[in-house]
Amino acid sequence: MVEPQQHFFESQRLRLSYWDWGYPERPPLVLVHGGRDHARSWDRVAEAFAADYHVVAPDLRGHGDSAWAVGSQYGIPDNVLDLVRLLEIVGGPAAVVAHSYGGQIALAATATYPELVSTIVAIEGTSSLQPRDHMAGMGPGWLRMWGERVRAFEQPSLRVYATVEEAAQRMLEANPRLPADFLPQLARYAVRPVEGGYVWKFDGWVHGRTSMEIRKQEFPRFWSAIDCPVLLIYGTESQQRAIQGPDDARHFKRARAIEVPEAGHWVHHDQLPLLLREVRAFLASPAS
């Protein structure tokens, strides 16, 4: 097993972390985690592809060991620029595998900077914030609602876990399918020590998002601009089935969608062998 090396890069005045599984002469494969997660949640996927690809996985801004943004700048546009900078460092075009919020970011980046992405796999990655609908777009009422939500994060209430094992148990409560042999590793990189125990590494302000966030009704304009092959993967038992699913493939030029049985939102944890098989086949022959 290749032990990944941690590196840092600068994007928009933030110092951001990424992990590199070596072999830079090989085709690049970038793994993008979801919200409130971290790069090392991809370890088992990275190890499976490290023999054939130059695998890297970033910690999104405000997550893992990456810097926290000042103010409320945790929107998809900011994360797109961070991902683009990493793709430039790695050397594109790269294959990208992304999960959840990371999928939203990666799909938007692919539409905006198509020269940097050759193929993309989005795992549960077509959900998004709901439309502004009754606010009829941006206006005083909507801005106040957003502002009050963001201001609430100025008084954070961090839960302190006595041990890493206690934090791991909380992760297991959120997803009972998490594999027991991977859970300690997952928890180890998800927390940081504080007085009295451990807290999650991610910045609580990531819930706030920027006022200029891309919304549900705006995403199809990005998806329809993507020219490269796209694989959409969904769990049949995901709690997000009401807001995303295989039907989203209709918005893409070259996408196909699959559903993974007995998998929830974290398909790469719940059904790893099946996921690896599907992703490997797609990367080997994306046009088929």
pLDDT in the model for residue 134: 42
Q: Cα 169 to chain center, whole Å?
A: 22
Exposure on the CB side of residue 105, measured as CA atoms within 13 A: 31
Helix (H, G, I), strand (E, B) or coil at 51: coil
- Helix (H) or strand (E) segment spanning residue 200: strand 197-200
Residue ranges of the chain whose pLDDT lies below 50: 133-135
For residue 91, how many other CB atoms are within 10 A of its CB? 12
Quote the pLDDT of residue 135: 44
pLDDT at 99: 99
State which CATH number among 3.80.10.10, 3.30.870.10, 3.30.230.10, 3.40.50.1820 fits the domain covering 5-133+210-284: 3.40.50.1820
Question: What CA–CA distance (Å, rounded) separates 41 from 153?
Answer: 26
> Would you give the DSSP letter of residue 18?
E
At residue 128, the pLDDT reads 75
**DSSP state letter for 161:** B
pLDDT tens across 267-285, in order? Answer: 999 999 999 999 999 999 9
Q: What is this structure's pTM?
A: 0.94
Q: What is the pLDDT of residue 153?
A: 77
Structure confidence at residue 1 (pLDDT): 66
d(CA 219, CA 225): 10
Q: What is the pLDDT of residue 186?
A: 97
What gap in Å lies between CA 190 and CA 172, rounded to an integer?
A: 13
Annotated domain spans of the chain: 5-133+210-284
Angle ∠(101,104,106) on CA atoms, nearest 5: 110
